[in-house]
Amino acid sequence: MRVRMHPNAFAVFALIAGLIVGAAAHADPLSAARPGDPVSASDRRGTFWISSNATTHLNADLGPAPLQGIRGPRVSPDGSRIVFAALGDLWMVDLDQKLLAQGKPPKGRHLIKDEPLDFDPAWSSDGTQLAYVSDRSGMPEIWLRDMKTAKERQLTTSNEAIASPSWSPDGERIAFFKIPNAGDPGLKSLNVVAVFTGDVVQLRSDVRTAGPVSWSPDGKTLALKVRVQAAAPPHDSAGRILLISLAGAPDRVVAPESGLSPRLTRGEGPVWSPDGTKIAYVDEGILSVVPVVPRGAHAGEIAGPAHTLTSEFADSPSWTGDSKAIVYLATDRLKRLTLDGDVADVQPNLTWLRDIPQGRTVVWAGRLWDGGSAGYRENVDIVIDGDVITAIEPHIQRDKQVHVVNASKRTVIPGLIDTRARMASSFGERLGRLWLSFGITSVREWGEDPYSALERRESWASGRRPGPRDFFVKAPDDVGMARGGDFLRRELERAQRLEYDLAASDENVFVHASGTAAARPMTFGLGSDAAQIAAEPGMTMMPNLALGGGFVVKALRDPAVLANTQIAALYTDDERAALKTFVNQARPRLADLQRNLTAGQLAERDLVARGGQIVLGSGAPSVPYGLGFLVECELAQDGGLSPLQVLQAATSGAAAALGVDKQLGTVMAGKLADLAIVDGDPLSRISDLANISGVVADGRYYISDELLQH
């Protein structure tokens, strides 16, 4: 088979166990494409349109921008208010019928505005209380707010992060998930807490779902979406609604006659109507309702055909208390839909503003590696006006009015870029500080939930909380495209309107928007021409050595890895213990993991020797945030790359692969000011990247000691 690479392709590969698994692009239909242009790839399953939005928010107008990161909207039982998370806070929208009748947007206001991260709001059935998750006590816990008096109290105290609270109809219990401190972050435990006593009962220890759960009206059954796999070949996966009895009856699994996609996304439901007669759900982006048995031993079982309510992309449906209307996210707008077919736009006119530092900051660098040179420049001043580097010049004494960061005994490098991580609000406010404490100023987030990612991006970019730049890409899902092109077209429209990248695949087609390329999956051994193909111009590789077992190999060989300063400061005792347990559980497989790692390192070294390009991605949180990226860098050097090659892959190479090299990746006049300040000599020892004393993120200087305050 002849393979030719499109010059803009950014293919992701796993170099594990001596195999390269990746994407080989079709050049012919893309030969006229320019970066940022929409392109198409034809396949027997249809035509899929893809465009790149990687640089959009870097080049955005500095004026107020519409708030897009609206997460988990929930309508009050009386239908008069909507609460949601945005910018890391909770917001309230008052649905003034007079304003809506006049075609005016409803008014939004802060409900809770504080330094901790607040998310996942849920109304009690009588509307008098609001449950939500906040990390104000250290870990994400459930808090209760009296909606009349505004008094609040902490309900749970856990050694694991908590997410997705859901009230029982009688207001006496709340179902929720616990997220494991280490290991597989997708595997959760399902629990119920008594509102009056705080007593917690675990219902399931190993649930794989996106959540939240939904209660039957009699409070005896919980419904949640899961993925099941057929027993017979070809063992295809399918989505199902799992019905869990709180009375001890066997679990039941149901689905509408039309079926459910196996994709698991937090905004899809199922959501039981308060009267129990219907379940609302989102499948392939479309909002539908299906009649169900409301109560008794057969509660939740399908009682008739499903009815489609929308043709646009829908997310996060919630019912009014009378079961007559649903509020949901319609691509980039909040809407209210009645079962009679009336639709009202209820999007508040809320905006956010990028936080640009005022005035001038000068970083006095004892040594500067600018991201492009082979060595250091010594004793220079990096002049930053606002968030832009305006000059790099020999050091001089400055006026006292100028803010000077004294790094005269340190090394300054471009901010590091982790090109593969998944992020979760369950890690709390500290997540942004943890990234920065490792010198990581940009992260390519792979995930399923764009609304949560946009909420993070806007929270960090607005200055509400410190954090890196978040380049979100909706990750490929090998089962997500099974129903053809309509869903992908809706996904593309949402990606364009919400300004994120899209990567999507089915059994035959792979499309990736960050490089405006379309591709078909291939698997080939290193004994073929794989390395030569991968080294062709335009192909960028992501080794994923740490994610493929290298992290635990490194930690088992050198226990000092887990004694990292940042982890010691920002992880709890329970989280550090869980991390050690996770690593030690892999000890029986150490020999196999070492062989796989060695094969991957050899493949990586061979690729670079042939002129191929690599970027580095940690795969967090399967490995620890920040620390996983540091280990990835160290594994690359251990495998034979020079510190210079590793640093280039972690900075300028990553920026080029993301299409933002005109703004990021090197320290030059005209570039955005993202810098890491290192105690040490990273061009000699890449492990010195562990010693970050400070960071400049979008022009704002952070001292590491302040970032590491728990």
Q: What is the pLDDT of residue 402?
A: 93
Q: Are 288 and 307 in contact (CB under 8 A)?
A: yes
Q: What is the pLDDT of residue 484?
A: 56
Q: What is the pLDDT of residue 625?
A: 96
**Where does the pLDDT of residue 265 fall: very low under 50, low under 70, confident under 90, or very high at 90 and above?**
confident
Cα distances (Å, whole numbers) of residue 14 to 214, 289, 542, 708 = 38, 40, 7, 33
Segment 334-343 shows an average pLDDT of 94
Sign of CA dihedral 354, 360, 366, 369: positive
Domain ranges for the chain: 210-319, 360-707
CA distance 420 to 471: 10
Strands of 422-549 (E only): list them: 440-447, 469-474, 501-505, 510-512, 517-525, 540-541
The average confidence (pLDDT) of the chain is: 85
Q: What is the pLDDT of residue 525?
A: 34
Q: Are 136 and 116 in contact (CB under 8 A)?
A: yes
- 10 Å CB burial of residue 710 (0-12, 13-18, 19+) is exposed
DSSP 3-state of 457:
helix
Quick check: bond before 212 cis, omega within 30? yes
Cα distances (Å, whole numbers) of residue 681 to 375, 508, 571, 627, 694 = 11, 47, 27, 19, 15
Q: Are 189 and 202 in contact (CB under 8 A)?
A: yes
The reply to whether CATH 3.20.20 applies to domain 360-707 is yes
- Would you say residue 23 has pLDDT above 50? no
- Would you say residue 538 has pLDDT above 70? no
- Contacts from 687-692 at CB under 8 Å and sequence distance 24+? 687/630, 687/634, 687/637, 688/411, 689/416, 689/438, 689/439, 689/630, 689/633, 690/438, 690/564, 690/565, 690/630, 692/437, 692/438, 692/439
Q: What is the pLDDT of residue 605?
A: 94
Token output for 617: 């991605």
Cα angle, residue 355 at apex, residues 353 and 359 outer, rounded to 5°: 130
- Would you say residue 27 has pLDDT above 50? no
**Where does the pLDDT of residue 7 fall: very low under 50, low under 70, confident under 90, or very high at 90 and above?**
very low
**Where does the pLDDT of residue 526 fall: very low under 50, low under 70, confident under 90, or very high at 90 and above?**
very low
The string over 310-330, giving b where at least 16 C-beta atoms fall within 10 Å of a residue's C-beta and e elsewhere, is bebbbbbbbbbbebebbbbbb
DSSP letters, 570-583, are HS-HHHHHHHHHHH
- Would you say residue 329 has pLDDT above 90? yes
Q: What is the pLDDT of residue 508?
A: 36
CA distance 205 to 191: 9
Number of residues written out for the chain: 710
Segment 156-185 shows an average pLDDT of 91
Q: What is the pLDDT of residue 258?
A: 84
Q: Could you identify the residue written with the tokens 């997500």? A: 480
Q: Are 336 and 346 in contact (CB under 8 A)?
A: yes
- Would you say residue 419 has pLDDT above 70? yes
Token output for 524: 């080939």
Token output for 121: 């709001």
* pLDDT 10s digits, 579-599: 999 999 999 999 999 999 999
* pLDDT 10s digits, 611-654: 989 999 999 999 999 999 999 999 999 999 999 999 999 999 99
* Stronger pLDDT, 38 or 477, i.e. the higher one: 477
* pLDDT 10s digits, 41-88: 333 333 233 445 555 556 555 678 999 999 999 999 999 999 999 999
CA distance 461 to 448: 21
Q: Which residues contact 686 (CB under 8 A, 6 or more apart)?
A: 633, 634, 636, 637, 643, 646, 647
Global confidence as pTM? 0.89
Terminus-to-terminus CA distance in the chain, angstroms? 55
Q: Could you identify the residue written with the tokens 């309900």? A: 155
> CB atoms < 10 A from the CB of 507, how many?
12
Percent of the chain past pLDDT 90, that is, above it, reads: 69
CA distance 476 to 499: 17
- Would you say residue 153 has pLDDT above 50? yes
Cα distances (Å, whole numbers) of residue 625 to 436, 475, 537, 705 = 10, 18, 31, 18
Segment of 376-385, 567-576, 609-618 carrying the highest mean pLDDT: 376-385
Segment 399-403 shows an average pLDDT of 92
**Where does the pLDDT of residue 486 fall: very low under 50, low under 70, confident under 90, or very high at 90 and above?**
confident
**Where does the pLDDT of residue 17 fall: very low under 50, low under 70, confident under 90, or very high at 90 and above?**
very low
CA distance 524 to 534: 11
Token output for 604: 């990586």
Q: Which residues contact 336 (CB under 8 A, 6 or more apart)?
A: 75, 79, 95, 325, 326, 327, 343, 344, 346
Cα distances (Å, whole numbers) of residue 195 to 136, 155, 200 = 19, 7, 10
* pLDDT 10s digits, 539-556: 688 899 999 999 999 999
The string over 204-213, giving b where at least 16 C-beta atoms fall within 10 Å of a residue's C-beta and e elsewhere, is beebebbbbb
Range name among 254-268, 317-331, 387-401, 459-473 with the lowest pLDDT average: 254-268
Segment 499-512 shows an average pLDDT of 54
- Would you say residue 697 has pLDDT above 90? yes
Q: Which residues contact 205 (CB under 8 A, 6 or more apart)?
A: 189
Task: Please choose, from the candidates 87, 661, 676, 697, the residue with its C-alpha nearest in 3D space to the C-alpha of residue 357.
Answer: 697
Q: What is the pLDDT of residue 500?
A: 85
Segment 193-218 shows an average pLDDT of 92
Cα distances (Å, whole numbers) of residue 701 to 359, 391, 692, 696 = 13, 17, 13, 4
The identity of residue 451, as a single letter, is: Y
CA distance 422 to 623: 10
Q: What is the pLDDT of residue 96?
A: 86
Phi and psi (nearest 5°) for 69?
-80, 65
- Would you say residue 323 has pLDDT above 50? yes
**Where does the pLDDT of residue 415 fall: very low under 50, low under 70, confident under 90, or very high at 90 and above?**
very high
Q: What is the pLDDT of residue 264?
A: 81
